[in-house]
């Protein structure tokens, strides 16, 4: 491979790579604003200027191709002075919004001002003021005076979102960004521009002014909005989710996530509809009870039915661990024969970027589980509903799914049941008809695994505290709780929901009813289930790691 030098060290490179790409690949920090690895080169910020021997002027490293024998200096006096000049130019009209700017704490302009500027301003004239608080679309707010005209947002819309909605208008120091006439920034991925904006010019209207980045913890997790399983970070303050942001995974979602996943997959965690503890139907009304009373009542009721009278509805939105315990509990404890799950495929709702038609994060994984237990998948849900209508199934266990959502005709079907047990995190139409409700943890409150549409198994970790403190064998434990929770607990400011993971709820029922295996952690459940599925053999949470593992698939799968 060809070689060249950067700051006295020799590096190999691939033909077509730029100086900046090779530098970043080898841990050499060349400051830059407009460059992004998945966007085209614009070269308009001039922050990445370097000195290259035998070239008469400084070159921008983001567009200069590496060449055999080239000698690059990133820390020469000329390069350093040029950076200082560029930073001084950027700061001439930039407002002192840092105390109120949501980007503070994760702003490249702040960082580079500290690292590369002269530390003072020689500009004595009045700053050029531009429009502030301009809503570019339903989710994005624009502060024009903060913009440094890097064009990242424009290129993202053109090249990634495939929706040209933004452009530069005017020239010189009056240049600003606007939407095209009659348009707004409303593509399905619009909020990604707030992530790639290197300053605080573009902000998330849903998150704006809600929290400072240094007051939040970030927990690596997976989006549950569709079967893509985008890698995300869950940002939490005072035991409340503040926002979701995409996490880089080259095999799943790169740097991006859709607006739907970012805004609508976590509001239920903080919602007033959360079920805080078990509930029993007494005299026709649901009433909160303790866990022991709920367990005792469920066990006494389930014993009244034979195995042919019990059906179990699993969920393609629930984790592998929860569904595995649903099947295991149903087969080994109740002797149930009838299992099913309701499809969440909305044909035509996906795109060719990230969004899929399947609005469930774990359909692939659930089908792997059902196949391993030799359970028929096709029309399984319809079969269970039909058997209820025929009076053959009289007791139904529903695990983390609202089967009445969008299916009002099933109301009469569920009315035929003598017993309906539901595990649910939030009150929904199915839970409202239940005889017993067990409060279930959400994906943001427990350890779990999901298999995405491509057959990649990935992990979620608890970002929010419930009464059940989650642990795992790989040593991970609520880092947020360790950082903030003890102090908040002392003052009674952490509101802990009385919820448990569905696998733990079913495991508790199973142990009392004679199940031999007792699990203490989610990973113990996973290790057990991995022994039943060949494609998961040898995996554990540590092996899955932060970016997941691609399962080996055959054409039949």
Give residue 516's pLDDT band: very low, low, confident or very high (50, 70, 90): confident
Mean pLDDT of all residues belonging to the chain: 92
Going by C-alpha positions, the residue among 64, 55, 54, 56 that lies closest to residue 20 is: 64
Residue 467: per-residue pLDDT: 78
**Chain CA centroid to CA 219, Å:** 10
Going by C-alpha positions, the residue among 409, 146, 434, 163 that lies closest to residue 275 is: 434
Residue at 458 is within a domain: yes
Among 58, 91, 124, the domain boundary falls at 91
Going by C-alpha positions, the residue among 376, 358, 399, 396 that lies closest to residue 504 is: 399
Residue at 195 is within a domain: no
- Rounded Cα distance between 329 and 518, Å, is 12
Residue 484: per-residue pLDDT: 46
Residue at 24 is within a domain: yes
Helices (H), 92-151: 108-116
Residue 466: per-residue pLDDT: 85
What is the CB neighbour count within 10 angstroms for residue 348? 6
Residue at 511 is within a domain: yes
Residue 495: per-residue pLDDT: 61
Parallel/antiparallel/unpaired status of strands 310-314 and 395-399: parallel
In the chain, the number of structural domains is: 2
Write out pLDDT tens, residues 146-204: 999 999 999 999 999 999 999 999 988 899 999 999 999 999 999 999 999 999 999 99
Residue at 111 is within a domain: no
Write out pLDDT tens, residues 297-317: 999 999 999 999 999 999 999
- Rounded Cα distance between 19 and 49, Å, is 10
**Segments forming the whole domain that contains residue 291:** 279-550
Residue 470: per-residue pLDDT: 58
Residue 332 token pair? 């080994």
Residue 149 gets the label, from left (phi > 0), alpha (psi -120 to 50) or beta, of left
Give residue 483's pLDDT band: very low, low, confident or very high (50, 70, 90): very low
Residue at 335 is within a domain: yes
In angstroms, the Cα distances linking 11 to 7, 65, 66 are 10, 14, 10
Among 56, 91, 126, the domain boundary falls at 91
What average pLDDT does this structure show over 39-51?
95
Answer whether residue 555 shows pLDDT above 80: no
Residue 22: CATH number of its domain = 3.10.20.740
In angstroms, the Cα distances linking 444 to 130, 218, 363 are 40, 12, 19
Answer whether residue 489 shows pLDDT above 90: no
Residue 124: per-residue pLDDT: 83
Residue 487: per-residue pLDDT: 44
Write out pLDDT tens, residues 226-269: 999 999 999 999 889 999 999 999 999 999 999 999 999 999 99
Residue at 203 is within a domain: no
* Sequence-distant (≥ 6) Cβ neighbours of residue 536 within 8 angstroms: 368, 457, 529, 530, 551
Going by C-alpha positions, the residue among 479, 461, 478, 480 that lies closest to residue 469 is: 478
Answer whether residue 491 shows pLDDT above 70: no
Write out pLDDT tens, residues 64-103: 999 999 999 999 999 999 999 999 999 998 998 999 999 9
Residue at 141 is within a domain: no
Residue 409: CATH number of its domain = 3.40.50.740
- Rounded Cα distance between 68 and 15, Å, is 10
What average pLDDT does this structure show over 342-346?
95
Q: Which residues pair with 286 in a beta bridge?
A: 281
What average pLDDT does this structure show over 264-293?
94
Classify residue 294 by burial, with Cβ atoms within 10 Å: 0-12, 13-18, 19+: buried
Among 67, 91, 115, the domain boundary falls at 91
Give residue 486's pLDDT band: very low, low, confident or very high (50, 70, 90): very low
Residue 556: per-residue pLDDT: 46
């Amino acid at each position: 491979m060809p070689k060249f030098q950067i700051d006295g060290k020799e590096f190999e490179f691939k033909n077509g790579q730029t100086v900046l790409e090779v530098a970043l690949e080898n841990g050499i920090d060349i400051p830059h604003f407009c460059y992004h690895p998945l966007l085209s080169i614009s070269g308009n910020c001039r922050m990445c200027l370097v000195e290259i021997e035998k070239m008469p002027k400084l070159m921008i490293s983001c567009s200069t191709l590496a060449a055999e024998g080239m000698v690059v200096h990133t820390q020469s006096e000329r390069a350093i002075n040029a950076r200082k000049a560029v930073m001084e130019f950027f700061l001439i009209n930039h407002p002192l919004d840092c105390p109120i700017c949501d980007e503070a704490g994760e702003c490249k302009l702040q960082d580079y001002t500290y690292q590369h500027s002269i530390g003072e301003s020689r500009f004595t004239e009045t700053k050029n003021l531009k429009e502030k608080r301009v809503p570019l679309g339903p989710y994005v707010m624009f502060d024009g005076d903060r913009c440094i005209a890097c064009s990242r947002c424009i290129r993202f819309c053109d090249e990634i979102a495939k929706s040209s909605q933004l452009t530069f208008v005017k020239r010189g120091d009056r240049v600003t960004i606007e939407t095209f006439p009659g348009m707004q920034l409303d593509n399905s991925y619009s909020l990604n521009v707030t992530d790639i904006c290197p300053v605080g010019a573009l902000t998330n209207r849903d998150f704006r002014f809600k929290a400072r980045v240094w007051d939040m913890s970030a927990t690596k997790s997976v989006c549950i909005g569709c079967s893509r399983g985008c890698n995300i970070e869950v940002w939490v303050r005072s035991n409340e989710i503040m926002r979701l942001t995409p996490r880089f995974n080259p095999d799943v979602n790169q740097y991006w996530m859709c607006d739907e996943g970012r805004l609508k997959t976590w509001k239920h965690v903080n919602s007033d509809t959360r079920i805080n503890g078990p509930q029993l139907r007494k005299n026709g009304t649901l009433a909160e009870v303790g866990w022991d009373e709920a367990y005792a009542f469920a066990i006494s009721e389930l014993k009244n039915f034979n195995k042919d009278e019990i059906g179990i509805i699993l969920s393609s939105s629930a984790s592998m661990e929860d569904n595995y315990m649903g099947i295991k509990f149903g087969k080994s404890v109740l002797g149930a024969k009838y299992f099913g799950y309701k499809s969440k495929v909305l044909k035509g709702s996906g795109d060719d970027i990230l969004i899929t038609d399947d609005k469930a994060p774990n359909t692939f994984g659930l089908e792997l589980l059902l196949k391993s237990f030799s359970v028929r998948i096709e029309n399984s849900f319809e079969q269970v509903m039909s058997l209820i209508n025929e009076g053959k199934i009289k007791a139904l266990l529903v695990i983390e799914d609202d089967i009445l959502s969008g299916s009002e005709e099933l109301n009469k079907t569920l009315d035929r049941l003598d017993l309906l047990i539901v595990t649910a995190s939030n009150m929904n139409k199915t839970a409202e008809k239940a005889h017993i409700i067990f409060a279930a943890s959400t994906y943001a409150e427990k350890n779990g695994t999901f298999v995405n549409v491509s057959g990649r198994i990935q992990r979620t970790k608890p970002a929010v505290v419930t009464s059940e403190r989650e642990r795992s064998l790989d040593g991970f434990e609520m880092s947020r709780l360790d950082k903030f929770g003890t102090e908040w607990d002392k003052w009674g400011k952490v509101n802990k929901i009385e919820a448990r993971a569905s696998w733990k709820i079913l495991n508790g029922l199973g142990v009392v009813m004679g199940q031999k295996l007792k699990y203490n952690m989610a990973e113990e459940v996973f290790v057990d289930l991995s022994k039943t599925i060949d494609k998961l053999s040898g995996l554990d949470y540590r092996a899955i790691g932060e970016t997941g593992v691609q399962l080996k698939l055959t054409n039949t799968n």
